[in-house]
Structure 1
């Protein structure tokens, strides 16, 4: 069951050029797992993150980076860590590739596909320094809540890929989803909230277009920052 809306978007000449030139260096395709397609003939090969980035460094997983502006800004300000962004929106992938080239970033790689397939089948346990889930689809209708990314089984998977002491940082502008996130994350026995409830807005989290849109609609953003025990 998908936790995201597939989105369509046209690619401009610059975006096509970025994909053609830069994808072989910075990109990887997430093979669909048995939950989203018939099982492949062979299971996906687990990622060696050290080989992927060309060094051994802490890795941050960015789930659903949109157009990639925030990911590029964080990676540029945090050169000691590597950023693996996963997204399904092709124009966003192309835009992030362009930003990587323009900013000269060496600590960004991009995975195209379902983040849950990446987590289940390719990312090793106990490896990630942080996971960012910024403004995921809130699926506001009650009948669609089962599609939300932050729910108990998915949180257990996310937590298992964090190294001990690793951080799961979520943000949303939907108050009801924020309450559900807080309840779900608090209930996970392997996570501990770093704040009494919601976190103050971290200075290091760039303002995303979703957050700007929420601000115009008078919807505050809620940050939740939990650490793996």
Structure 2
């Protein structure tokens, strides 16, 4: 049976390996509403970043880097959310913090459309969106140390044992996140799956690039995160919400140059 997480290759082209590991999402197709279609036709030119692709439809070609100052038209702290879904958290954040810039990373077109509609209604002109695989955005699209904060709220837990390899937060992802976040910047995570929360904590604790920015077992709930459908669903099911916050350690210089970004992208 075909793997739905991979894009169908062009039979007329030479065979290519799209990614060296599974991505953390299954890209579902679905019909968009009239309003969502209108968002793409009328709002995407402002909100959605144009991405040069590699082999896969959600890939980012190595070297296809954007200049945040050119994209947002100013220098400001950049907050990046991975898996923004319908955009509830990031639209609220962007509207509440006009002095900051925001980037929503999502692979589901309907979710991006909803985000654009809500951002336009809220007047969140400091928000941009990108339809792409998140690790490739961090590694290829954004310059080194571009993000002041990186948010990973309620990623797919892939709770079945045979699927845990698809989880986003892994040691490979931690290395890529370390390249994207500036010194002293933050990675903020939240999940309602305790076992995944423990994995996230183990991964970031083991990273030499990050340090805990909380005391005790878990961080306090991030006050900048609005209550979303995912959090409500977890709470209704009786699952505790676990937050984690990590600070990017200063980069170690070798011969006057900081560590390079990781050479190999993780398809997570």
Fold shared by both chains (TM-score > 0.5): yes
**Match of residue 222, structure 1, among 242, 249, 266:** 242
Between structures 1 and 2, the one with greater strand share: 1
Q: Which residue of 2 aligns with 1:186?
A: 205
The C-alpha deviation readout for 1:48-99, integer Å capped at 9, x for no partner, is 0111111110101111100011110111111111000010111110001101
Written as runs of structure 1 = structure 2, the 5 A alignment for 1:1-229 is 1-33=22-54, 36=56, 43-196=62-215, 197-229=217-249
**TM-score with structure 1 length normalisation?**
0.93
Residue 11 (structure 1) shift: 0.9
* Count of paired positions: 226
Q: Which runs of 4+ in 1 moved over 6 A?
A: none
Question: Partners of 2:89 and 2:169 in 1: how far apart?
Answer: 21
Residue 33 (structure 1) shift: 4.1
Residue 170 of structure 1 aligns to a residue whose secondary structure is strand
Checking the alignment, whether the CA contact within 8 Å between 2:139 and 2:180 is kept in structure 1 is: no
Residue 7 (structure 1) shift: 2.6
Question: Partners of 2:234 and 2:188 in 1: how far apart?
Answer: 19
Checking the alignment, whether the CA contact within 8 Å between 1:32 and 1:113 is kept in structure 2 is: no
Residue 150 of structure 2 aligns to a residue whose secondary structure is strand
* CA 31–221 in structure 1, closer or farther in 2 if over 3 Å, else same: farther
Between structures 1 and 2, the one with greater helix share: 1
Residue 43 (structure 1) shift: 4.3
Question: Partners of 2:100 and 2:79 in 1: how far apart?
Answer: 7
**TM-score with structure 2 length normalisation?**
0.80
Q: Which has the larger radius of gyration?
A: 2
Question: Partners of 2:28 and 2:156 in 1: how far apart?
Answer: 12
Checking the alignment, whether the CA contact within 8 Å between 2:143 and 2:180 is kept in structure 1 is: yes
Residue 28 of structure 1 aligns to a residue whose secondary structure is coil
Residue 155 of structure 2 aligns to a residue whose secondary structure is coil
Question: Partners of 1:143 and 1:191 in 2: how far apart?
Answer: 29
Question: Partners of 1:30 and 1:116 in 2: how far apart?
Answer: 14
Structure 2 stretches lacking a partner, 5+ long: 1-21, 250-268
Residue 192 (structure 1) shift: 0.5
The root-mean-square deviation of aligned C-alpha atoms, in Å, is: 1.7
Residue 104 of structure 2 aligns to a residue whose secondary structure is strand
Residue 9 (structure 1) shift: 3.0
Structure 1 stretches lacking a partner, 5+ long: none
